Structure 1
Amino acid sequence: MKYMKLKAYMAEFIGAFALVLVGSTAAVLNLELSSIALAFGLILMAMIYAVGSTSGGHFNPAVSFAMALTKRLSWKDFGMYSFFQLLGSLIAVLCLVPFVGDLSNLGANQIFGDFGGQTGILILLLGVLVEVIGTFLFVFVILRVTKEPNLKSLAGLIIGLTLAALIYFTGPLTNASLNPVRSIFSGLFQGGKALEQVWIFIVGPMIGAFLAAVAAPYFDQVPEEKA
């Protein structure tokens, strides 16, 4: 049992590492939103098919949080999954630094623009809202797709494409986090505005995941009552 648990934790480590490294590198080196969206979506899809049967293929504390809330993951495993996801992200960012040459641009998340002329705290709150909505939709799809037996074989494809689609929505606004481990270490090392706003990309995704965990069970199939 302990060996199987360790395999699951290592799967989360590798998946988070791949997601952050590939996606963040695309964000740093390629300014085309479509390429960034595909990089994130395709690597997520690949890692879900590679190790998803071992751990569930979360690679994201927000996803693990929703799974714990819906009793599909224990709270102990939520803590361990989150730890190994963070560790994978840290190693990915440390690998990214020599690839890009400095710390000034690690593809960190931050709010772009002023949402049509807004100012002050309202900009920050709108940034949180973007991450809440994006993560809600992302995690809602994950919870529903992985619950439907006839869709499980397509889960990796659907989830990867969903992430890519949501990056088109959130990318121009917040550089598309939807995942705290995507943001924490890139913001920490890049510093400046990214570090000041890193809380947005922790709070927003976790709220979105909570709302998805509340909403998703509503659509579970209920056995028909006998006449």
Structure 2
Amino acid sequence: MIQAIVFDFDGLIFDTETHEYKALQEIFTEYEAELPLDVWGKCVGTRAGTFDAYAYLEQCIGRTVDRDALVKLRREKYERLIGEEKIRDGVEDYLNAARKLGLKIGLASSSTRPWVVGHLEKLGILHYFECIHTAEDVEQVKPDPALYIKTLQCLGVKPEEAIAFEDSPNGALAAKRAGMYCVIVPNFVTETLPFHTIDIRLQSMAEIALEQLLDKIASSSET
């Protein structure tokens, strides 16, 4: 029986990932280069810095670039794009439903704590989460299962009693390695990426009520 749900953050609750990609894509376009989704997607859901976009740009155009200037430009473009972004559809409905059902609620993110907590406060949903684990809490982030294992320990539930909500292949792999059920809700950046072992795929959390989702998970575990 499901006792807890655990959320990823970037791209799942708040779609920072799409705007990060679009900011870089604008820069690449200005250099008459291209940053394919399948290239960028490999670093989504894991530690920042695993993919050097500027080195890839230099490789594409055959010359060096002013990295400091591009870092500043990328930040400016990102802030402009993210300015009107809202919490993803259905997320707060799931949080409310989980609370009413008596489920424990956690969050496991490969991003830093100030980044995650700061955004959760701005979105007005920080109070829902009983346990939050971020990059500072583990030696290895996703796709390593450590973040999920720590969050489950904090919540006091077994892996088979929890559902992870993810948007990226790296995150989904971490959840399954931890022994959890995994529901993926991809975004623009991750929807075309290859996912492997998962339990349910949704376009949005507004697609199905949490109670119905729990019934589907229960039915699948009985077969």
In the superposition, the TM-score normalised over structure 2's length comes to 0.27
Higher helix share: 1
- Between Structure 1 and Structure 2, the one with more strand by share is 2
What is the TM-score normalised by the length of structure 1? 0.26
